[in-house]
Amino acid sequence: MALKSFVLIITIFAVVTSISHASDPSPLQDFCVAINDPMAAVFVNGKFCKNPKIVTAEDFFRPGLNVAGDTSNPVGSAVTAVNVNNLAGLNTLGISFARIDYAPYGLNPPHTHPRASEILVVLEGTLYVGFVLSNPGPNMKNKLLTKILQPGDVFVFPIGLIHFQLNVGKTNAVAFAGLSSQNPGVITIANAVFGSDPPINDNLLAKAFQVDKKVVDYLQSQFWWDNSYRLV
């Protein structure tokens, strides 16, 4: 009996520990400027790190977020991301940033960030934003939480949940977002489901969405726009 209790305690501890480490790990040093050349590296903390002796302020600097993104696309929005892939000094810091531009009635389509929560602040315009909670249980619908945001308003999207923003005004809108990962990732729902390569079996999707297979074939034939791009 004592052995079973001990095994149970160890199992619970392992699960709790794994959950508590489900986000970016805490850094073990001041910084670790990411570098692609391991021959020039000194420390390894998630990525090869640039020798601290040759680190400069430029490794922690990225201009360009004053420039509006190109919203002349089918969804009418553009996400300009700043993450570890274009700002090496973010490595191990557990944060990233983005500017989102919206044309009138432009949409940042339903999507998720698998590795980060997001905090959004509106700079210009009026946004209708929201997120959907995870599956609640049998015979229950996923709850939708929404809000109309004005300039200066802040809204938070929990990690992994499907969320969106829609410009409900007649003028351009601008928002900035902070994310709790150096590389939060993004899964745009429509793109992933109907625009995957190779395509998901249309019979499978027809059954999943309870629609005729012709509807799925039509959706899979469309061009699914990626409204995110990175600073260069």
pTM score of the predicted model: 0.82
Residue with tokens 């400069």: 56
Which among 194, 156, 144, 149 is positioned nearest to 174, based on CA atoms? 149
- pLDDT per residue over 131-185, tens digit each? 999 999 888 999 999 999 999 999 999 999 999 999 999 999 999 999 999 989 9
Residue 92's pLDDT is what? Answer: 86
Q: What's at 10, amino acid-wise?
A: I
Residue 4's pLDDT is what? Answer: 53
Low-confidence ranges of the chain (pLDDT < 50): 6-22, 43-45
User: Does the domain made of 63-230 have the CATH classification 2.60.120.10?
Assistant: yes
Residue 41's pLDDT is what? Answer: 53
Q: Distance between CA atoms of 20 and 15, rounded to whole angstroms?
A: 9
Residue 32's pLDDT is what? Answer: 74
Residue 1's pLDDT is what? Answer: 55
Are 209 and 160 in contact by the 8 Å Cβ rule? The answer is: no
Residue 23's pLDDT is what? Answer: 62
Task: Sketch the domain layout of the chain as residue ranges.
Answer: 63-230
Output b/e per residue, 186-204; b: 16+ Cβ within 10 A: bebeebebbbeeeeeebee
Which among 60, 59, 37 is positioned nearest to 47, based on CA atoms? 37
Q: What tokens does 203 get?
A: 């019979």
Three-class DSSP category at 199: coil
